[in-house]
Amino acid sequence: MNMQHHDASALVRLNNVSKRFANGTLALQGMSLDCGEHDFISFLGPSGCGKSTALRLIAGLTRPSSGELAWSGAASRGAERDRELGFVFQEPTLMPWARVFDNVWLPLKLSGVSREAAAPVVKDALEMVGLSRFAEVYPRELSGGMKMRVSIARALVTRPRLLLMDEPFAALDEMTRIKLNNDLLSIWREHRFSIIFVTHSVYESVYLSNRIVVMAPRPGRVIEEIRIDEPYPRGDAYRTSTRYNAHCAAVSQSLHGALHGVDIDH
């Protein structure tokens, strides 16, 4: 069954958003984007094309120099918006002195939820990422992939409507990355939040997303949005299909065409 579904009302809408830093760098020029309910959007492009800047703007970590960001529903108010966003970075950034349970509890703790009251929710989040049996261990006892799972559980523990992921699997080996891609897709399908996922990888973006925003640098900007209208669930059959390869070729071409000789490092 095709689980893609597009709500008419955007969760967050960027309208001609630009970001110029104090040193004069135009990190992002005129970006417009509607992120809908249950979208899986990838920002794809080489270093310096403004992917992280766009993500940080959506996260509210930095403000646009011009243009607007608009949120729907409760998220249009600051405090609720924070709760409706989850973040995952390339580094899992776990507290080494705290057990897995306490790492995942952190966002709830910061909003005043006691350890006891948080326990069932933390347990659910760990179950989502397949780490139920690891609640009592310390991060140093976990593999890189498991640490990333903890980071995902921590981001999901507040049940955000939008999960922002900045190259989350870039440092992982290929097999772990494929496994995490699959697990992320199944969590996303079951819990129906939206994802904005920053990546350098054409293959990863075509595998995961229903929409790919292709970006280019100097100045950072959107070149094209490419829809990947392929049904979910996606698995090995999709990864080895001619359709998958055709999408990868089209997306690569869009990326190369836009770069005019700029080095690509995906």
Ligand X SMILES: Nc1ncnc2c1ncn2[C@@H]1O[C@H](COP(=O)(O)OP(=O)(O)OP(=O)(O)O)[C@@H](O)[C@H]1O
Positions touching ligand X (CB under 6 A) are 21, 23, 25, 27, 45, 47-53, 220
Q: In whole angstroms, what is the distance from residue 138 CA to residue 80 CA?
A: 31
Identify which of 231, 150, 226 has the alpha carbon closest to the alpha carbon of residue 189: 231
Going edge to edge, which strands form the sheet with 221-227? 85-88, 162-166, 194-199, 40-44, 211-216, 221-227
Q: What does 8-56 look like in DSSP terms, one character per residue?
A: SS-SEEEEEEEEE-TTS-EEEEEEEEEE-TT-EEEEE-STTSSHHHHHH
The least distance separating ligand X from the CB of residue 221, rounded to whole angstroms, comes to 10
Return the number of the residue (158 or 254) whose C-beta is nearest ligand X. Answer: 254
The least distance separating ligand X from the CB of residue 206, rounded to whole angstroms, comes to 18
The least distance separating ligand X from the CB of residue 56, rounded to whole angstroms, comes to 7
Return the number of the residue (53 or 194) whose C-beta is nearest ligand X. Answer: 53
Whether 177 and 146 have beta carbons less than 8 Å apart is answered as no
The least distance separating ligand X from the CB of residue 44, rounded to whole angstroms, comes to 10
Q: With residue 238 as reference, give the H or E element that holds it.
A: helix 236-239
Return the number of the residue (27 or 35) whose C-beta is nearest ligand X. Answer: 27
Return the number of the residue (36 or 45) whose C-beta is nearest ligand X. Answer: 45
The least distance separating ligand X from the CB of residue 64, rounded to whole angstroms, comes to 13
Q: Where are the beta strands (DSSP E) in the chain?
A: 12-20, 26-35, 40-44, 66-71, 85-88, 162-166, 194-199, 211-216, 221-227
Return the number of the residue (52 or 210) whose C-beta is nearest ligand X. Answer: 52
The least distance separating ligand X from the CB of residue 52, rounded to whole angstroms, comes to 3
Whole-number Cα distances in Å, 150 to 42, 139, 178, 197, 198: 22, 9, 17, 17, 19
Return the number of the residue (25 or 72) whose C-beta is nearest ligand X. Answer: 25
